[in-house]
Amino acid sequence: MRRLYGSSPLHLIGNVLCLALAGYAIVQILGISSAGNVFVWLIGAILLHDVVLWPLYAGADTVGQRLLGGAVNYVRIPLGLSLVLALAFFATVSNEGGSTYARASGVQFEGYVLRWLLVSAALFVVSAVVYLLRRLKR
């Protein structure tokens, strides 16, 4: 099986189960009246990611590896976490939806950009400290 498939049978079973779960999710989405909008967003996101963003990631990673060598992970990881945080909290970081947030929570939000910047800076500082400690250990 490994020679034919290239991996263990457990890997094949896991992939088949994930495919079945994705198929079930698509069937559930089709039941939504605005399924057309969901598919337009899905196709747009796939195209944006695969055609525009992936080459940018790959290019930036290649440049980072050439400039930083083995230290690239000490930049890659905090940068990735910072971008995920920015994406997850985009509405609050960009000060969009303040009135909706205030109605739902009773609290005005402000200062999220500063907090995101501070968390991002802390991620880079921790990464730099880990890099320096590992570098000094050699």
CA gyration radius, the chain: 21
Instruction: Please check whether residues 61 and 44 belong to one and the same domain.
Output: yes
Q: What is the DSSP string of 4-61?
A: HHSS-HHHHHHHHHHHHHHHHHHHHHHTSTTHHHHHHHHHHHHHIIIIIIHHHHHHHH
Instruction: Please check whether residues 63 and 89 belong to one and the same domain.
Output: yes
Note down the domain range covering 73. 32-137
> Which of 72-76, 80-84, 104-108, 128-132 has the least mean pLDDT?
104-108
Instruction: Please check whether residues 65 and 107 belong to one and the same domain.
Output: yes
Instruction: Please check whether residues 73 and 113 belong to one and the same domain.
Output: yes
Condensed to tens digits (0 to 9), the pLDDT of residues 24-80 reads 887 777 776 665 677 777 778 888 888 888 899 889 889 989 998 888 999 999 999
Q: CA-to-CA distance for 66 and 25, rounded, in angstroms?
A: 41
Instruction: Please check whether residues 40 and 92 belong to one and the same domain.
Output: yes
Cα three-residue angle 71-75-65, rounded to 5 degrees:
50
pLDDT of 1 above 70 = no
Instruction: Please check whether residues 39 and 61 belong to one and the same domain.
Output: yes
Task: Count structural domains, the chain.
Answer: 2
Instruction: Please check whether residues 48 and 76 belong to one and the same domain.
Output: yes
Instruction: Please check whether residues 51 and 83 belong to one and the same domain.
Output: yes
Instruction: Please check whether residues 3 and 62 belong to one and the same domain.
Output: no
Q: pTM (2 decimals)?
A: 0.62
Instruction: Please check whether residues 13 and 58 belong to one and the same domain.
Output: no
**Residues 6 or more apart from 86 whose CB is under 8 A from it?**
93, 116
Provide the pLDDT for residue 138.
79
pLDDT of 96 above 80 = no
